[in-house]
A and B are shown apart, each in its own frame.
Chain A
Amino acid sequence: MTKEIYTWGAISAIVIASCAGDVLLSHAMKQVGDVSELWRRKGLMTVIGRILRNPWFIGGVLCMTIAFYSLLFALSWEDVSLVGPAAAALSFVANAVAAKIFLHERVDRRRWIAALLVAGGVLLLAA
């Protein structure tokens, strides 16, 4: 029983932290602008400096760190074949909702279908 609680607690932590991290990082990178274009015009150091100074980026990295350690914790209790797909499938759906609410992305029918197809496919891989 302890194993299930640890595993699913860690999987929930992965989904919440990685979803928050993805939204923050996506927002940060949209503020920074197209990296390859910026690199060509102003050089690599400008790109790196701009990314590292962005507060949204710092927040995103903090969330990703929490997600990473939750993943290590989960992997120490359960196989990657359960943890990986379960966390990924839940993240796809959670991210589509979060991107629509917080990033104002136009999640149209095409993207909903894609997110659900991928989430379903990931679950079948784990079955």
Chain B
Amino acid sequence: MTSSKYLVLAGVTVCAAAGDSLLSRGMREVGNISFHHLPSIIVAILNPWVALGIIFLLGFFASYMTALSWADLTYVLPATSLGCVLLALIARFVLHEQISVTRWLGIVLISAGVGFVTRGPELTHDPSRKTISPASTQALAARQK
């Protein structure tokens, strides 16, 4: 893994966290949408917070696609889950919300999961080339250490 690849994973993490919180802020302004007023969900994207959220989600999408071009789905997803931790830390240190012991435990579990998966190989199967055997995956992992 090169540093630019870690930068792409960081882009996925940050953009997803920012995008989701902006969408949530916007949808609170838009209000409840029921099945009887389903078309109003289309108008919802005109809300400035939702629109800004969508811009961040486009950034997320670009970096996510880049990551998927050189890594497995089961590597990218856990590796970028630090976004949840990031949201909790923003809540604690920027918004000064109280974080319970359960939530700190959740943060520890996610971080452990991220650490676990990022220590392994990022690619185990590539349909565009020949299938990578378990042996060559281990060789790949050994080379990266």
- Total A-B pairs, Cβ < 8 A: 170
Size of A's binding interface in residues, CB under 8 A: 57
Q: What residues of B have a CB within 8 angstroms of the CB of A126 in the complex? A: 106
- Report if A127-B102 is in contact (Cβ < 8 Å); known contacts: A111-B117, A121-B113: yes
A58 within 8 A of partner (CB): no
Interface 1/0s, chain A 28-45, versus B by CB < 8 A?
Answer: 011111111000000000
In the complex, A80 Cα to B32 Cα: how many Å? 13
Let me know if B84 and A85 touch, CB within 8 A: yes
Q: Closest CB-CB distance, B49 to chain A, in whole Å?
A: 11
Let me know if B69 and A35 touch, CB within 8 A: yes
Q: What residues of B have a CB within 8 angstroms of the CB of A22 in the complex? A: 73, 77
Let me know if B4 and A36 touch, CB within 8 A: yes
- Report if A118-B81 is in contact (Cβ < 8 Å); known contacts: A95-B73, A105-B74: yes
Let me know if B134 and A118 touch, CB within 8 A: no
Q: Closest CB-CB distance, B54 to chain A, in whole Å?
A: 9
Give the residue of A6, A32, A85, A115 whose beta carbon is less than 8 angstroms from that of B69. Answer: A32
Q: What residues of A have a CB within 8 angstroms of the CB of B77 in the complex? A: 22, 91-92, 95, 115, 118
- Which A residues form the contact surface with B (CB < 8 A)? 6, 22-23, 25-27, 29-36, 51, 64, 68-69, 71-73, 75-77, 79-80, 84-85, 88, 91-92, 95-96, 99-100, 103-108, 110-111, 113-118, 120-127
- Which B residues form the contact surface with A (CB < 8 A)? 4, 20-21, 23-24, 27, 30-34, 41, 44, 50, 57, 61, 64-66, 68-70, 72-78, 81, 84, 88, 100, 102-103, 105-114, 116-117, 119-120, 124-128, 131, 134, 137
